[in-house]
Structure 1
Amino acid sequence: MEKLYEGKAKVLYPEGEDTLRVYFKDEATAFNARKRGLIPGKGVVNNKVSAALFRYLEAHGIRTHFLEEVSEREMRVKRVEILPLEVILRFRAAGSFAKRYGLEEGTPLKGPLVEFSLKNDPLGDPLICPEAILALGLAGEAELEGVRATTLKVGELLKAFFAERGLEVVDFKLEFGRREGEILLADEISPDTMRLWDMETGEPLDKDRFRKDLGGVAEAYQEVLRRVLGEGV
């Protein structure tokens, strides 16, 4: 099947006018692709975790692009026009946020913080304020408010979901797309796009293990999958 698009973590294949097949790769990148590597089994984990979380969110009223899993590494999704934005929800200071403001990693925030960044690899995905998003016509006012409200709701749902599985959601990144006048949650939700800390040990079980050369990366991803599928803590 001819590729429609290949990114750092996924390949998209067309399946007609309305649907796409998403293939999840084992390749890993960090720091705007300046660091590259391979995490064996990552594609399988991210596909299965994303599918489980999309189903969970759909069951709680969140509209997504997800349709079904079609193989260990592939899912079928609705075609959407991706907004050129990354939406980050933070519960603690970590990563670039902690560095930006000189905070200790893990510092709790007074409340959930929604940030936006422009999806632009050459520019390094810079932060962008809501006023600039509107001024540049990247999203409408109602769309932006809907994205913000949905992100906060997703945050509540994911915190509850992972807390039951002994994991704390520190932060995560979402992407959204337009389809027939509706804004849908799109892309993926996986250890690639979230910070997940074990509630007992504080150990990260996410892509930070790759970013920081902590070791045990593939094992951490498999542990997240095990817990997401309800196989115990």
Structure 2
Amino acid sequence: MKYVYSGKTKDVYELEDGNYLLKFKDDVTGEDGVFDPGANSVGLSIEGAGKAGLKLSQFFFEKLKEQNIPTHFVDANIKEKEMKVVPATVFGQGLEVICRFRAVGSFLRRYGRYAKEGQHLDSFVEVTLKDDERGDPPIGRDALHMLGILTKEEYGILKNLTKVISQVIKDELAKKGIELYDIKLEFGRNENDQIILIDEISGGNMRAYKDGEYVHPLELEKLLLGPSPVTITK
């Protein structure tokens, strides 16, 4: 296989069959040794983080496959912390799509004059540009179209897929008494220009609560799939 690049939490390789291999790392984002899924740099290493993220991703991707929802997932090797995916191109230099079921995080910071913390939201979909330098600014349908990032029709597909996928994940968490507050997804186009879900679906991509208490991202894998001890090394 051919090395392509190293991301914050995964290394990417191109395989001989034309697919790609994502090797999950134990590095996680954060600052000053404190884990933060929203941070823009690697802050520490948590033993077991890569495997936990991959196990959750495999679990959710297989649930989506059962419902014929298009994704880049092919298969996974948990022992080697590897996920095989089909090639995909991102929109522009990358978009993040957030589905919000409650008012928390950046939504509350922006709209706190009108929204109350924890207020129920009706699967609100928000798109942001992946741009660390500019703080990942939100962007609307018309601007995305005018800037040539995606068409208005593609935006409609993206929005609908986000709602459907997020509801599937929300329902799976609810089976374990966990409530999904919001989730961040990424999409791309496959070789047939079909819009598909890409990247991973792990605890670091979502905010979830159980019995009114915030669930640490790395605890989600244990709650859903069984115990998975981790060791933190700064």
Normalising by structure 1, what TM-score?
0.85
Q: Is the 8 A contact 2:101 2:180 kept in 1?
A: yes
Q: Is the 8 A contact 2:130 2:136 kept in 1?
A: yes
Q: State yes or no: 1:24 paired with 2:34.
A: no
* Paired position in structure 1 for 2:50: 43
CA distance in structure 2 between the aligned counterparts of 1:17 and 1:137, rounded to whole angstroms = 31
Q: State yes or no: 1:58 paired with 2:69.
A: no
**Displacement after TM superposition at 1:32 (Å):** 4.0
Task: Classify the secondary structure of the residue corresponding to 2:204.
Answer: coil
**Displacement after TM superposition at 1:151 (Å):** 0.5
Q: Deviations over 1:51-71 (max 9, x none)?
A: 110000111121110000123
Task: Classify the secondary structure of the residue corresponding to 2:166.
Answer: helix
* Paired position in structure 1 for 2:231: none
Q: How many residues align?
A: 214
Q: Deviations over 1:63-95 (max 9, x none)?
A: 110000123311100010022211000000111
Q: Is the 8 A contact 2:72 2:197 kept in 1?
A: yes
Q: Deviations over 1:182-224 (max 9, x none)?
A: 11111111111011111x2x222234xxxxxxxxxxxxx1x32
* Paired position in structure 1 for 2:200: 188
Task: Classify the secondary structure of the residue corresponding to 2:213.
Answer: coil
CA distance in structure 2 between the aligned counterparts of 1:52 and 1:144, rounded to whole angstroms = 27
* Paired position in structure 2 for 1:153: 164
Matches within 5 A, 1:137-152: 137-152=148-163
Matches within 5 A, 1:77-92: 77-83=85-91, 84-92=94-102
Matches within 5 A, 1:147-226: 147-179=158-190, 180-198=192-210, 200=211, 202-207=212-217, 221=218, 223-226=219-222
Question: For residue 15 of structure 2, what is the amino acid of its counterpart?
Answer: E
Q: Is the 8 A contact 2:27 2:43 kept in 1?
A: yes
Matches within 5 A, 1:119-138: 119-138=130-149
CA distance in structure 2 between the aligned counterparts of 1:3 and 1:203, rounded to whole angstroms = 41
* Paired position in structure 2 for 1:112: 123
**Displacement after TM superposition at 1:2 (Å):** 4.4
Instruction: Identify if the C-alpha distance between structure 1 residues 35 and 23 changes in structure 2 by more than 3 Å, giving closer, same or farther.
Output: closer
Question: For residue 4 of structure 1, what is the amino acid of its counterpart?
Answer: V
**Structure 1 residue runs without a partner (length 5+):** 208-220
Q: Is the 8 A contact 1:194 1:206 kept in 2?
A: no
* Paired position in structure 1 for 2:110: 100
Question: For residue 104 of structure 2, what is the amino acid of its counterpart?
Answer: A
Once the two structures are aligned, what percentage of the paired residues are identical? Answer: 37
RMSD over aligned Cα, in angstroms?
1.9
**Structure 2 residue runs without a partner (length 5+):** 30-35, 228-234
**Displacement after TM superposition at 1:131 (Å):** 0.8
